[in-house]
Amino acid sequence: MSAALAARHSDPAVFGRVAVLLGGSSSEREVSLDSGRNVLEALRARGVDAEPVDGIPALIEAIHAGKVDRVFNILHGGDGENGVLQGLLQALGVPYTGPGVLGSALTLDKIRTKQVWIAAGLPTPRFVRIARGDDLHAAARELGLPVFVKPSNEGSSVGVFRILEEKDLDAAIDFAAGYAGELLMEQMVVGEEYTVGILGDLALPSIRIVPAGDWYDYHAKYVADDTQYLCPGMDGDDETAIRALALAAFRAAGCAGWGRVDVMRDRVRGLQLIEVNTAPGMTSHSLVPKAARQLGIDFESLVWHVLELTL
């Protein structure tokens, strides 16, 4: 195991009473419940006094009742990742896992994250912001096909459309008509897909994602068992470069603690930053645990280390 990830504490009592915040009401509820069950089981196996709490209103009740000293946030999407929860816990003086208010709010918004990366000179695909009522055909002409269309504020590949030719826009236009938020249209990266987990100041080994289908959609992430995950995803200097880029992107977006940075390698433009996840999945298909195992860190040790980052 990496010396940087050796446990600093051995007594689970140091964490006090831990609320594992899961579920909630976002589109990622089911994934969050699955992640939360795994985290809860791992913490309890290490002797941590941990209890599941479903959603923010229930968490507020538990805090007011004096039952919570610390929060392991595994509430994917929505208020679990957009700064609302983080601001609440900061105001109440309750430590929590993951980035703070700024990093959480910024990175759940893909458009603003890309604007920050561009300002910092970090590579990310060209994009067009789509407000409600905007012309998707005009945006596609501006960028040139192929493109992806996706909500600026969702995760887990919810509402993502792969546009290879003009007629593929029809489904995205139908979705946009009923969607209240902003959409992002970005140039499609033609090349391999990678992700890099971040734990404190350490970038974990990269993972190259090879879906059996054309792209890494919701089914490939959470349902299929034929998606390949190659770890480390690169070799030598390339592996060093992708880890350094991911860590720089994480920090530029105001993040600290733990998270995951998605990167692609375009055949012409090289490495391109896609997005940041500040409450990564902890399911059987999830990627941060896979990368941690490459360093000899089992799931229980990973969960313990994430919680240690709150001390």
Q: Which residues are catalytic?
A: 28, 156, 222, 260, 262, 275, 277, 281
191, β-bridge pairs:
266
User: What is the C-alpha to C-alpha distance for residues 282 and 293, in angstroms, rounded to an integer?
Assistant: 13
Decide: 32 and 24 in contact? Cβ < 8 Å.
yes
195, containing H or E segment: strand 191-199
Rounded to a whole number, what is the largest CA-CA distance in the chain? 59
Q: Is 34 exposed, middle or buried (0-12, 13-18, 19+ CB in 10 A)?
A: buried
